Structure formats: structure tokens, C-alpha cells
Amino acid sequence: MQLKRVVVTGLGAVTPLGNNVNDYWNNLIKGVSGAAPITRFDASKFKTRFACEVKGFDPEKYFDRKEARKLDTFTWYGIASSVEAFADSGLDAQGIDRDEVGVIWGSGIGGLDTFQNETFAFAKGDGTPRFNPFFIPKMIADICSGHISMRFGLRGPNFTTVSACASSTNALIDAFNYIRLGKAIAIVTGGSEAAINESGIGGFNACMAMSTRNDDPASASRPYDKDRDGFVLGEGSGAIILEELEHALKRGAKIYAEIIGGGMSADAHHITAPHPEGLGAKLVMQRALNDAGISPNEIDYINTHGTSTPLGDTAELKAIKNIFGDHAYKINISSTKSMTGHLLGAAGAIEGIATILAVKNNIIPPTINIGNLDPEIDTKLNLTPNKMQQREVRAAISNTFGFGGHNAAIVIKKYK
């Protein structure tokens, strides 16, 4: 069958660098860090006492107080970003067939705030089970996609992908596939996460996965630097409107970029560590390129998973060199997690937005905090250190890899 072309027509973001796309993008290209001491709870006894929190978010801008209490924080963020994306797309102002518009969302954890707060309250009580009637509907990871569909009356395909830190890239790939197969005319896709609480910080500390650079949070997320000591936890949401090209053209929509391919793979190696030779990362990029029908030489930018962990960063770069050969030295590589921290299941969504805007604007956001390059890393690779760079970006890849060995990559091309 003739596959349909899929384009991006709307963007929305709630991030540690800003609660809308414009603020987020401008702070990315300026190289601003979103990391700071934790304000949500008393973290003084934790090994890590900082994170990349969303700042100044007002849920009452989107919900009345009664409705807000029925939603977990990750759903607040998801709805807020989708409101911006839907408005940006212009879909809401036009007579679209809402039976043909869906929501495919990603979240690695879902309502961790709700789960923690309800179990804390039970543990402090006398053993009598007094749980909030909204406990389960607030907590389950799929609920955000349901709320987004109800917000806009969207009756198309609706589900949530859960693949740890690859969740929202998997959601993007699924949305892309549904549209190009003719099963929807448009889909609200992306992801949201809100895990900055005692359970999230304590759990990742127990995994020995997070940075403990408490004396200087702004420089703690330092992918590719010799002195990196783990990732910095972030939170937030990104929403992307994907739309069938002919439908977008008929209604005169603005088009940011075109999605042309996606790949998925598994490391089949370890529950938290990547394959040391980056075999899963190599497979996922190769599959994404094959699906897109382009050669490695057409890629100008890779937004890497780049979490600032000693094993993960080097394994991904090995995979890039393996796939791209000599062309790897002509590609701009950067990790925007150096600024946003790691948004877990929402990482692919906000990094997808960064990659879309890099393609549209011909600007590469930097990898900040590279001061002492890891000697295991090839110095000829262009990691876009510390400052953004301008260049033509014909096509780009956004990579995300998750606990359990889940890998997903999407290919974004300049629309012509």
C-alpha cells in the first residue's frame, strides 16, 4: 500500500527550562542548566539533593482547583503541554473529524506522586484502609492519554506506551505508524513524567544511577565529561501533533518538519546497564535509517540519549561510529539532558521537540558542562561542546534508551 507522509504541525512543552516551547528552546540554545536544589521536599538526608524541577507551574491555569486535585502531577504536565500543542497546530479552530484524531502518549512511571502520597498516608494511620477514591485513576500510567482525549473530544486511537526512558519515543513511532497506515488523520503524541519526590530520588540513589554533585547542581549533568557521575533527574512533558501531510496542506497548517522513520530494538543484556559495545543502540539507529529510506550520510545531527552515565555515553558513541563510519565526524552530536536533566519516560518527547526545532531552525543545541573530555571518547567527534552551533540540518535522529534494554530512535527531516 502507499504509505502516507507524516508531518509535525504543533508543539507544546513543560520543562525545567520553561513552561512553553519558546522558553524551552531559547534556554536550550543559550546553554542554560535547569538543575537546582530540590524544593518539593526536604532532601537533606538524601545522597542527591538537587534535580531539574519544573518551575512556576500553575495548575489552575488549566484546571479549576477541584479538578486539579483529581489529577497526578504527570497528568497536569501532559495536559498543559497538549493544550499548547493543540493551539499551536490550529486543529481546535477548524472543523476536524475528531473520530479520526487520536492520542498516543508515553510515561515510564505514571503517577508516582499519587502512589507515594497514598501509601505514606496509609502507613502513618492506624491500619484502617482510607484511600482516596481517585487513587487508582490518578496513578495509572495510561490516564494522561485518556484525559487529553477527553479535553479535546478525540475519539481516535488512544493508548500509552511504557518502555522506561524510551516510552515517549515509542509513542512517537506508534503515532507515526498509525497515521502513515491511514488509521488516523492526526495524533497528539509525546509523554510526561513527574518523579521528583522521596521515592524517585531515593530509588534512583539506591540504583547508584544519579549524580551526587550537591555542591554544584548546575554542572552535575555533564555527558561525555571525564568527571561525570550519573544523571540528574528531571520532570515535565512534551506534546507533538503529528498529522497526515495532505490533511495538513488542505487546512493550510504550518509544518515544522517531517517524520520519516523510526526504529526499535532491545539490548537483551542487563536490567539497567547498556550493552558495552552499544549493540542495541547500533541496531535501533540502523533500523530507523532503513525505515526512513535514507543513507547515514544524510544525517546532520543526532540528539543522543546522553544521560551523563559513565557506561551509557561511551556505548552510544561507539554505536554512532559503527553505523556512520567517517561521516560520524561530520555530524553534530549533542545531549540536551546536560540542560534538562533526564525526564525518564518524557525524555523522548522533549528531545524530539529539540530535534524538530534543530531541523527547522538550523541550530544545534549544545552539550553543556564538557570541561574535561573522557579520554575514552574520540576527540574528533563534534559533541557541540558548551555552545550552540549553526549549520544546515537536512535530517536528524533522536535516540532514547531505557532500563530493561529498550531502545527507540526516530528520524526527522526538513519538510520540502
How far, in Å, are 16, 43, 210, 236, 407 from residue 207 at the CA level?
A: 23, 17, 8, 22, 20
Question: E-assigned strands of 21-72?
Answer: 36-37, 50-51
Rounded to a whole number, what is the distance in angstroms from the first to the last CA of the chain?
23
The residue from 52, 165, 247, 406 that is catalytic is 165
Q: Can you tell me the distance from the alpha carbon of 273 to that of 209, in angstroms, rounded to the nearest whole number?
A: 10
Q: Can you tell me the distance from the alpha carbon of 143 to that of 242, in angstroms, rounded to the nearest whole number?
A: 20
3-class secondary-structure state, position 66: helix
The residue from 147, 247, 275, 305 that is catalytic is 305
Q: Can you tell me the distance from the alpha carbon of 401 to that of 347, in angstroms, rounded to the nearest whole number?
A: 10
User: Are 191 and 107 in contact, with CB atoms under 8 Å apart?
Assistant: yes
User: Are 188 and 157 in contact, with CB atoms under 8 Å apart?
Assistant: no
342 is catalytic: yes
How far, in Å, are 65, 98, 292, 394 from residue 59 at the CA level?
A: 8, 26, 39, 38
Q: Can you tell me the distance from the alpha carbon of 320 to that of 303, in angstroms, rounded to the nearest whole number?
A: 11
DSSP codes of every residue in 360-376: HHTEEPPB---SSB-TT
270 is catalytic: no
Cell numbers of 69, please? 486535585
Active site residues: 165, 305, 342
